[in-house]
């Protein structure tokens, strides 16, 4: 009897080991197969799924290597370093050890190997490289930013930098709290998981654009309340900021299509949402819901194929870069203190300069072609203290119409007096001026601030309406 039991135990023991082995093999198999399913293939050639589990400590370390290497012979790319580890760990950064990254850096610095030679046999390296580039690709690079002048801290000066140009979504000096809440279940409407990151804070806290891009969606949504969606210029990232403040949710200069720069104030923290009725506070704890969606293919934008990633570690990484803001007591609007020049904004505007007038509240009858190179030069000239009249849209309209009347040049008085220019519409970005009087061939002049949408940005004429023929 005793012997029998022992044999039985022996068999059970072996069975247990076999089952563990088998399930481990099946698990490995499923894991490999599941990544394979997300890999691009010839017929469906885009990534179908990404789990973003890179820890903020690994991001910190890789970022520091990248920035430090800019003055060295061997340039290191932080996304490549992370993609190598992603491929090594199967995406699971709980396996991360500082030494693993240090070893890779050592190999690259020795110049005996390159990223290409090191990864040539790593089956999943290209997958992780594309996935992580899609998430982090707009974060690091060259840019210009204002800083306080050393001689006079009241003054600001522009400096060129290389490094992190993305910002934490909560403005500097405003407290918030958060925890890793991605995937937690929510019950409003129907049962679903939480596809974002909540940052608890005071109502009215300025919300800042993480990355530069354009406003793709704005308005009420029964889950998100007042929400704003900003698409990166490469169209791969959709940033979603929700539950914004009742009555005054957004920066008033914004509309669909507006360009925002990383660090700009886009709206204000609140507790709207969870209601089909517009402008309703139905969230108990005021917070920003921040979401980041990846779009490898436009078919993934809406519906069951959406990819939202866990932003908790990303937010911890972004904490080092917060945009300082100041309140305009007249408009109650918050504005950034230190402006940025992000090269991706210029590239986007140059590509779109021909249809730049499409965002106007009214469309001009005649478009005026814009040469962004000239506009940039003019802005630089104004920044250096020349031609301050370009900051005054009425003056810009007066000069424009005067030049149409006297194309050979203006001697003495302008043919259009300044008093005849009436501003019909004005925002940080757009102005429409009406020309009164009987001598003018132009009735309305349409202008845009193409470089900077604040007091220091020059106005450029992008179109006009001629006087109606009687």
CA dist list (Å): 33 to 7, 27, 233: 38, 10, 33
* Positive or negative torsion for Cα 338, 344, 350, 351: negative
Closer CB to Zn ion, 237 or 448, in the complex: 237
- Where does residue 282 rank: exposed (0-12), middle (13-18), buried (19+ CB within 10 A)? middle
- CB nearer Zn ion, residue 162 or residue 179: 179
Choice between 88 and 243, CB closer to Zn ion = 243
- Report the distance separating Cα 210 and Cα 232, nearest Å: 10
Q: Which is nearer to Zn ion, 196 or 229 (CB)?
A: 196
- Quote the Cα angle for 307-256-356, to 5°: 115
Residue ranges with strand state E in 93-155: 140-148
C-beta closer to Zn ion: residue 283 or 433: 283
- Least CB distance to Zn ion at residue 200 (A): 10
Structure tokens at 145: 């930013």
The distance of closest approach from Cβ of residue 196 to Zn ion in the complex, given in angstroms and rounded to an integer, is: 5
Which C-beta is closer to Zn ion: that of 198 or that of 359?
Answer: 198
Q: State the residue number with the nearest CB to Zn ion.
A: 289
Residue 427 CB, shortest distance to Zn ion, in Å, is: 30
Whole-angstrom distance, CA of residue 226 vs CA of residue 267: 10
C-beta of 19 vs 184, nearer to Zn ion: 184
Nearest to 404 by CA among 361, 439, 356, 456: 439
Tell me if 341 sits within 8 A of 453, measured CB to CB: no
Q: How far is the CB of 235 from Zn ion (least distance, A)?
A: 24
CA-to-CA distance for 132 and 114, rounded, in angstroms? Answer: 19
Smallest distance from the beta carbon of 194 to Zn ion, in angstroms? 6
- Please name the residue that has the structure tokens 């003056």: 395
User: Residue 189 half-sphere exposure, CB side, CA atoms within 13 Å?
Assistant: 14
Least distance between Zn ion and beta carbon 177 (Å) = 14
Name the minimum Å distance from CB 184 to Zn ion. 9
List all residues 6 or more positions away from 252 whose beta carbon is below 8 Å from its beta carbon. Answer: 331, 333, 427
Site residues (vs Zn ion, CB under 5 A): 196, 198, 289
């Amino acid at each position: 009897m005793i012997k029998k039991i022992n044999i039985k135990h022996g068999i059970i023991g072996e069975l247990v080991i076999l089952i563990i082995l088998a399930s481990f093999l099946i698990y490995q198999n499923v894991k490999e197969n599941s990544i394979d399913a997300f890999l691009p293939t010839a017929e469906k050639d885009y990534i179908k799924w990404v789990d973003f589990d890179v820890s903020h400590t690994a991001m910190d370390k890789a970022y520091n290597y990248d920035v430090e290497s800019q003055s060295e012979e061997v340039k290191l790319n932080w996304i490549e370093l992370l993609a190598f580890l992603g491929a090594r760990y199967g995406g699971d950064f709980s396996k991360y050890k500082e030494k693993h990254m240090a070893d890779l850096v050592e190999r690259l610095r020795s110049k005996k190997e390159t990223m290409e030679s090191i990864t040539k046999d790593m089956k999943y390296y290209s997958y992780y490289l594309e996935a992580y580039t899609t998430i982090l690709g707009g974060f690091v690079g060259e840019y210009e930013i204002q800083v306080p002048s050393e001689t006079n801290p009241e003054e600001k000066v522009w400096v060129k930098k290389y490094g992190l140009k993305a910002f934490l979504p909560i403005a500097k000096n405003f407290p918030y709290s958060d925890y890793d809440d991605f995937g937690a279940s929510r019950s409003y409407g129907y049962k679903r998981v939480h596809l974002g990151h909540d940052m608890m804070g005071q109502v009215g806290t300025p919300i800042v654009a993480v990355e530069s891009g354009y406003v793709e969606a704005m308005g009420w949504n029964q889950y998100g309340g007042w929400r704003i969606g900003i698409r990166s210029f490469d169209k791969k990232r959709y940033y979603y900021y929700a539950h914004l403040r009742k009555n005054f949710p957004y920066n008033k200069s914004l509309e669909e299509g507006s360009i925002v720069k990383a660090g700009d104030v886009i709206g204000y923290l609140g507790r709207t949402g969870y209601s089909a009725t517009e402008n309703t506070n139905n969230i108990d704890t005021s917070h920003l819901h921040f979401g980041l969606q990846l779009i490898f293919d436009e078919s993934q934008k809406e519906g069951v194929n959406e990819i939202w990633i866990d932003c908790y570690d990303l937010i911890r990484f972004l904490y080092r870069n917060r945009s300082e803001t100041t309140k305009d007591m007249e408009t109650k609007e918050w504005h950034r203190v230190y402006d940025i020049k992000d090269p991706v904004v210029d590239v986007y505007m140059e590509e779109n300069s021909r249809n730049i007038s499409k965002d106007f509240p009214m469309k001009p009858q005649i478009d005026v072609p814009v040469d962004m190179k000239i506009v940039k030069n003019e802005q630089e000239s104004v920044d250096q203290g020349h031609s301050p009249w370009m900051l005054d849209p009425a003056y810009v309209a007066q000069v424009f119409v005067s030049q149409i009347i006297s194309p050979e040049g203006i001697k003495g008085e302008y043919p259009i007096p300044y008093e005849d220019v009436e501003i019909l519409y004005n925002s940080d970005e757009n102005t429409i001026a009406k020309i009164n009087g009987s001598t003018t061939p132009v009735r309305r002049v349409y202008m845009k601030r193409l470089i900077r949408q604040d007091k220091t940005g020059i106005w450029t004429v992008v179109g006009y309406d001629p006087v109606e023929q009687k």
